Amino acid sequence: MPAINTVNGIDYGLIALYLGVIVWVGFYSARQNRNSDDYFRGGGKVPWVLAGVSNWVSGFSTYMFVVAAGFAYRNGLGSLLLYTSGCWGYLIGYRWIVPLWRRTRIEAPFEFLTRRYSPSTTWFYSVMSIPPQVAGLGQGIYILCIFGSTALGFNNATFHFAGIALAGWQLCILIIGAVLILYSMAGGFWAAVLSDSIQSMIILVMTLIICHVAYLYLGHGDGLAAGFRRMVHEVPAGYLTALNGPLQSWVFIVAWVISGIIGYNFNWSMVQRYQSVADERGARKMALLCAVLIVVGPLMWVLPSMASRVIFPDIATAWPAFPEPTEASFVGLALTLLPHGLIGFVVSAILSATLGADNATLNWLSATMTHDLYVPARQRLGFQPAGDRHKLKVARWTMFALGVLGVVVAFQVPRFGGAFKFVAVLSSIIAGFMMPVGLGLIYRKTPWWSGMAACAAFLVAVLVCILAGWGAGRAFERNMFLAVGVTSAVFFGSAYWWDPANPRHAEILRLDTDLRTPVVSTAGGDETVRRGGLKFFLMLGRLCYVFGGVLLACRLVVPSTALVSSNLNVVAGALLLALGWILCRVGQS
C-alpha cells in the first residue's frame, strides 16, 4: 500500500487563495442587491445555466466526498445505481413539478405555505423545521472541519489564543464558519449562485484528474485500460454487481427512490433557485441540466473510490483516526497520487462543496425568517410595513445570527455521539415535513389546516414506532414509508372538509389560478437576463485564469517524485485556462 502524502505550505497557500476568492465573490455579489427580492432570489434574473449548476452543486457537500465515497469503497458498482437515481427525481420535476413551482410567484420559500395553507402553517413549519435545519448546518460544518483538519494534519494539535485552548478541528470550525458567514451575509443569493459556479469548475477539474491518475496507477504504466482490468480482477466477489450491500433489499431501493423524488423536487433551497430564473421555461431547463449532471457527476467520485479499494486494501491502517476509515478513500487517493498544489486544490474542492450546501441553507433560512416571520410579526405589532432597505438589512443580520448559531452547534456535535449519529437523527424527519409541501402543490382542494395535520400525524407515527421499537433496524425505510403513507392518508382525508366558500381559503383559490397561469418573460426579458448574465460568465472566466495561472506556477516550485509527476499541475492549470477562455468568450458575446 503506497504512503499517503501530507500537505505543505503551497497547499495551504492555495486553500487560503480559494477562501479569499469566495469572500471576494460575496462582496462582489453585493452590488447586485438593490432590494430584498435581489437578495433572496436574484430578482428572477439569474441565467438558467448558472442557476442549474448552482442547484446541482448545492445538492451535495462533503457527504459526497466522504460518506458517498466510503459507500462506493465498500459496495462498489451498486453505489452508481444509488447516486445516479436522483436523475428520475429531476426528470419528474422537469415534466410536472418545476413549472408549478415557478408559477407560485413567491419571493421566499415558506411564502408558499402561507399561500397554499395559512400563516399558521408557516409559523408551524418555522418552529418545527428551522431548528433542525440550523442543527443540520452545524453538523455539516463539523463534518467538513473534522475531515479537513485530519487531512491537513492538525486535528490533534492544540492552538492557544488569548488564553483559550482550541483543538485543530475547533480552529477549523471558526475559520470556515467566518468565511461562510462573511460571503453569505454580503452577497445573498447571488453569492450562492456565483460561488457554486466556481465550486463546480474546481470539482470538475479535480475529479477528472483524480479518476484518470488512479487508474493509470493501477495500470502500472500500461494505460487506463490495464488499470480498469486490474480493478475488475482484484475487487472482492460481487463488488461489480449492481445489487449488493443495502441494494440487495428492494425495500431500501424503493425508499431511496422515493426519497430522491421528494428531495429533488421539494427541497427549499432548490425551490428558491427555481424562482431565481426569468420564467418556467428557464426553470425546466435547469431541471434538465441537473438531471444530466447528476448522472455524470457520481462517475467522477464513485470510480476513483472503487480504484481505492485495490490501492488501499487495508485503509484502516492509513486513517486510524477516522470513525469509518473507508470514508477517507477519495481524499486518500488525492494525497497519494497528486502533487502539491493540486492537493490544496482537492481540499479546496471539498471545502467548496460543503460551503455551497451550507450557503444554500443559510440563504433560504434567512429569506424565510425575514419575509415570512419578521415582516408579518412587525405588521401585527402595529409598525409600518418594512421597506426594501429595511428588509435587506434584517436579512443580512438574520443570516449572520444563523451562521453563528451553526458554528455554535458545530462545537456541540461531539456531545451528541458524533456527526453521523447526528445526521441520522436529523434526516429521519425531513421526508415527512416535505410530503405535505409536495402534495399541497399538486392538489389544492384541501383545507387550510391540512398541511399541519399531515405533518403532525407523521411525527406522531414516528414517535410511536420509536417508543414501541418498531423498525429500529431499518429506520430510514420505516420513516420513508410512514412519510408517504401517513401524510397522504391524512392530507387526502382532509379533503372531506374542503369548502371553497370559506374565507380562509381565498388565497388557496388565488394560488390555484396562478398555478394554471404560465410564467413567461416580458418583452425583452430574455435578452435582459442574457446580457445581465454575460458579465458573470466573464468574471468566472477570469477567476479560472487566476486559478489556472497559480497551478502553472506551482510546476516551477514543486518537484516531481517517483510516484507523482508535478506535470499534473500543468494539466490542471491548462484545463482551467481553457475553461476560462471559453467562459470569457461567452461573456464577451
Cβ within 8 Å of residue 445, ≥6 positions away: 495, 498, 500
Domain that includes residue 352, residue range: 9-362+421-427+521-587
* Domain end position, chosen among 520, 538, 560: 520
Distances in Å between the alpha carbon of 388 and those of 33, 324, 370, 402?
10, 48, 11, 21
- Rounded to an integer, what distance in angstroms lies between the CA atom of residue 572 and that of residue 459? 49
Which of 5-14, 380-389, 436-445 has the largest mean confidence? 436-445
Q: Are residues 512 and 555 in the same domain?
A: no
Percent of the residues in the chain that have a pLDDT greater than 70, as a whole number? 89
Contact 348, 176 (CB under 8 A): no
Q: Are residues 206 and 311 in the same domain?
A: yes
Q: Are residues 44 and 131 in the same domain?
A: yes
Beta bridge partners of 160: 165
Q: Are residues 86 and 163 in the same domain?
A: yes
Q: How confident is the model at residue 422 (pLDDT cuts 50, 70, 90)?
A: low
Flag whether 389 is in a domain. Answer: no
**∠ CA 222-209-582, rounded to 5°:** 125
**Arithmetic mean of pLDDT, 291-308:** 88
3-state helix, strand, coil in the chain (%, to 5): 80, 0, 20
Is pLDDT at 523 greater than 60 in this prediction? Answer: no
Flag whether 352 is in a domain. Answer: yes
Q: Are residues 449 and 549 in the same domain?
A: no
Flag whether 3 is in a domain. Answer: no
Q: Give the closest residue to 457 by CA, choosing from 495, 484, 496.
A: 484
* Domain end position, chosen among 467, 487, 520: 520
Contact 337, 563 (CB under 8 A): yes
pLDDT of residue 420: 47
Contact 26, 179 (CB under 8 A): no
pLDDT in tens, 449-468: 999 999 999 999 999 998 99
* Domain end position, chosen among 482, 500, 520: 520
Q: How many residues does the chain have?
A: 589
**Arithmetic mean of pLDDT, 316-331:** 77
Helix or strand holding residue 164 (H, E): strand 164-167
| Mean pLDDT taken over the chain | 84
CA 274 to chain centre: 15
465: number of Cβ within 10 Å? 16
Cβ within 8 Å of residue 435, ≥6 positions away: 262, 454, 455, 458, 483, 484, 487, 488, 491
pLDDT of residue 417: 52
> Which amino acid does the sequence have at 386?
A
> Which amino acid does the sequence have at 495?
A
Q: Are residues 244 and 321 in the same domain?
A: yes
> Which amino acid does the sequence have at 170?
Q
Q: Give the closest residue to 232 by CA, choosing from 76, 337, 2, 82.
A: 76
Q: Are residues 432 and 530 in the same domain?
A: no
Flag whether 372 is in a domain. Answer: no
- CATH code (residue 142): 1.20.1730.10
Flag whether 381 is in a domain. Answer: no
Flag whether 500 is in a domain. Answer: yes
Flag whether 479 is in a domain. Answer: yes
Q: Are residues 488 and 582 in the same domain?
A: no
Contact 312, 77 (CB under 8 A): no
Contact 483, 433 (CB under 8 A): no
pLDDT in tens, 181-217: 887 787 777 777 777 788 788 878 888 899 999 999 9
Phi, psi of 159 (to 5 degrees): -120, 140
Q: Are residues 569 and 437 in the same domain?
A: no
Q: Are residues 277 and 306 in the same domain?
A: yes
- Rounded to an integer, what distance in angstroms lies between the CA atom of residue 290 and that of residue 296? 10
Q: Are residues 275 and 135 in the same domain?
A: yes
- Rounded to an integer, what distance in angstroms lies between the CA atom of residue 60 and that of residue 74? 20
- Rounded to an integer, what distance in angstroms lies between the CA atom of residue 84 and that of residue 466? 31
pLDDT of residue 346: 79
Q: Which of 362-366, 407-411, 525-529 has the lowest mean pLDDT?
A: 525-529
Classify residue 521 by its DSSP letter.
P
Q: Are residues 446 and 558 in the same domain?
A: no
Q: Give the chain's domain count.
A: 2
Cβ within 8 Å of residue 574, ≥6 positions away: 548, 552
Q: How confident is the model at residue 415 (pLDDT cuts 50, 70, 90)?
A: low
Cβ within 8 Å of residue 447, ≥6 positions away: 494, 497, 498, 499, 502, 504, 505
pLDDT in tens, 78-103: 888 888 888 999 999 999 999 999 99
pLDDT of residue 227: 95
Q: Give the closest residue to 192 by CA, choosing from 385, 381, 8, 41.
A: 41
Flag whether 340 is in a domain. Answer: yes
pLDDT of residue 24: 84
Contact 330, 98 (CB under 8 A): no
